[in-house]
Copies of this chain bind each other. A is one copy, B any other.
Amino acid sequence: MDDLFAKRVEGVPKSFIREILKLTQSKEVISFAGGLPNPAFFPVKEVSEAAVKVLEKDGRSVLQYSNTEGYPPLREYISDYYLRRKNLKIPVEEIMITSGSQQATALTCMVLLNKGENVVIERPAYLGAIQSISFFEPVFRPIELLEDGIDIEALEYVYSNFPVKLFYSVPNFQNPTGITYSVENRKQIGDILSKHNSVFIEDDPYFEIKFKDVDIPSIKTFCENNVLLNGSFSKMVAPGFRLGWVCAQKNIMEKVNIAKQASDLHTSYFGQRVMYQFLADNDIEIHLSKIRSSYAKQKDAMLAAMVKYFPAEIKYTKPDGGMFLWVTLPEHISSRVLLPLALKENLAFVPGDTFFVDGTGQNTMRLNFTNSSEERIEEGIKRLANVIKQVLSDSNKLTFVSY
């Protein structure tokens, strides 16, 4: 029965990352493949105390159905957070709690995208967003990520030549590249957005994992209308809750609310209440500063090992935050060829082509630095360097033989 499935499913890629993760369960494998926070920093004891407290105080309500928008004090916390950290005024009514920022993107696409509409994404882009968007059969317009943000000329070209419906971006410590948009780049994006009738999704799960104490203004600062902000507690606290949020202006929020009702009625109220109690009873800044300094050291360890072991022709990004590094190999080297060789040496990474919608990016890879110790990071980069050198040398031999 070939017509069993909806046509929209055909174009949606399966997560290759989740396939790789199945191969990296063994302790011998050093994995740069996942996107996992370091569990050593999860506030286990504090979460346990928060759970006991809310259940004791208000258990019958905590375990009951709740409203679609989410627990009001948790939404107030997020509203206060935006003012405190980003100098943005977001009223509580414009905030909805979702099952991770992934669901924020999925719901938004559900209410916005008609088949065949133009969607701008970064090149390379976050795989989860590619999946969410693909379900609605768009025409992707991927725009190159440069060192300081999106390629503005290309963005202007696309906005001038196509009716763009949606632009999805991760401007801070992007997944997969680790790139952060400069303030100038953000202003230019704001200018373009202000001139066109599209919706912009500013997905910002990594903001609090910044390694330097610099101000990074939200792109919403430079264009208010039709800008959605997605956020997440996954990296700030812990991902096992699946708690994120979407900020949307009233007319859009009304539709997102209906999509949320149809999708799962509301996000786990138990999870929301425990999270709020944790946030109310603990100083999140102390928690975050520990994460930041550790992740920064892990990132430094990875960069230092790359300097030490990588051949000179290998390029890589130097992120100011987040969880990922992006490696670019010489054009004729495929990371899909590297992967099985690396796995044989008990080393895992994600081949970069996964993050492209146009079948390119074969010579790139994503490395996660937050989920391995500094020692294992050095050892892992050493293994990876050896495999790269081997493939480089084989390809040189091959060239020599061929000509």
Q: Footprint of B on A, CB under 8 Å?
A: 1, 4-9, 12, 14-15, 18, 34-37, 39-40, 42, 44-45, 47-48, 51-52, 55-56, 59-68, 98-100, 102-103, 106, 110-114, 128, 131-132, 134-136, 197, 199, 226, 234, 238-243, 251-252, 255, 257-259, 261-271, 273-274
- Chain B nearest CB from A200 CB (Å) reads 13
- The reply to whether B6 and A265 contact each other, CB–CB distance below 8 Å, is no
Please measure, in the bound complex, the distance between the C-alpha atom of A114 and the C-alpha atom of B274, giving whole angstroms.
39
Report, nearest first, the 8 A-B pairs whose CB atoms are least far apart: A44-B59, A63-B238, A39-B60, A131-B262, A99-B264, A63-B240, A51-B51, A240-B269
Given the complex, which residues of B lie within 8 Å of A66, measured CB to CB?
A: 240
Query: Taking CB as reference atom, which chain B residue is nearest A68?
Result: B18
Apart from A4-B112, A44-B55, A268-B268, what 13 extra A-B contacts exist at CB < 8 Å? Answer: A6-B112, A6-B113, A6-B114, A9-B258, A44-B60, A45-B59, A102-B262, A110-B135, A131-B261, A132-B262, A240-B268, A240-B270, A243-B268
Q: How many copies does the complex hold?
A: 2
Given the complex, which residues of B lie within 8 Å of A8, measured CB to CB?
A: 110, 114
- The reply to whether B14 and A42 contact each other, CB–CB distance below 8 Å, is no
Please measure, in the bound complex, the distance between the C-alpha atom of A268 and the C-alpha atom of B270, giving whole angstroms.
10
- The reply to whether A48 and B39 contact each other, CB–CB distance below 8 Å, is no
Query: Taking CB as reference atom, which chain B residue is nearest A275?
Result: B270
- The reply to whether B258 and A131 contact each other, CB–CB distance below 8 Å, is yes
Question: Looking at the complex, which one of B55, B65, B240 makes contact with A36 (CB distance below 8 Å)?
Answer: B65
- Chain B nearest CB from A8 CB (Å) reads 8
Please measure, in the bound complex, the distance between the C-alpha atom of A1 and the C-alpha atom of B131, giving whole angstroms.
27
- The reply to whether A255 and B59 contact each other, CB–CB distance below 8 Å, is no
Question: Looking at the complex, which one of B34, B47, B197, B226 makes contact with A55 (CB distance below 8 Å)?
Answer: B47
Question: Looking at the complex, which one of B6, B100, B239, B242 makes contact with A136 (CB distance below 8 Å)?
Answer: B6
Given the complex, which residues of B lie within 8 Å of A62, measured CB to CB?
A: 44, 240
Given the complex, which residues of B lie within 8 Å of A267, measured CB to CB?
A: 99, 242
Identify which of A5, A67, A135 gathers the most chain B CB atoms within 10 Å of its CB. A5
Given the complex, which residues of B lie within 8 Å of A9, measured CB to CB?
A: 110-111, 255, 258-259
- Chain B nearest CB from A30 CB (Å) reads 18
Please measure, in the bound complex, the distance between the C-alpha atom of A25 and the C-alpha atom of B135, giving whole angstroms.
39
Identify which of A48, A56, A135, A262 gathers the most chain B CB atoms within 10 Å of its CB. A262
In the complex with contacts A102-B263, A102-B265, A270-B258 CB distance below 8 A: no
A-B contacts, 17 listed (Cβ < 8 Å): A4-B112, A4-B199, A4-B252, A12-B259, A12-B262, A39-B60, A40-B60, A52-B52, A99-B263, A102-B265, A131-B262, A132-B262, A135-B259, A241-B270, A242-B269, A263-B263, A268-B271
Please measure, in the bound complex, the distance between the C-alpha atom of A40 and the C-alpha atom of B14, giving whole angstroms.
43
In the complex with contacts A18-B261, A42-B63, A63-B42, A110-B242 CB distance below 8 A: no
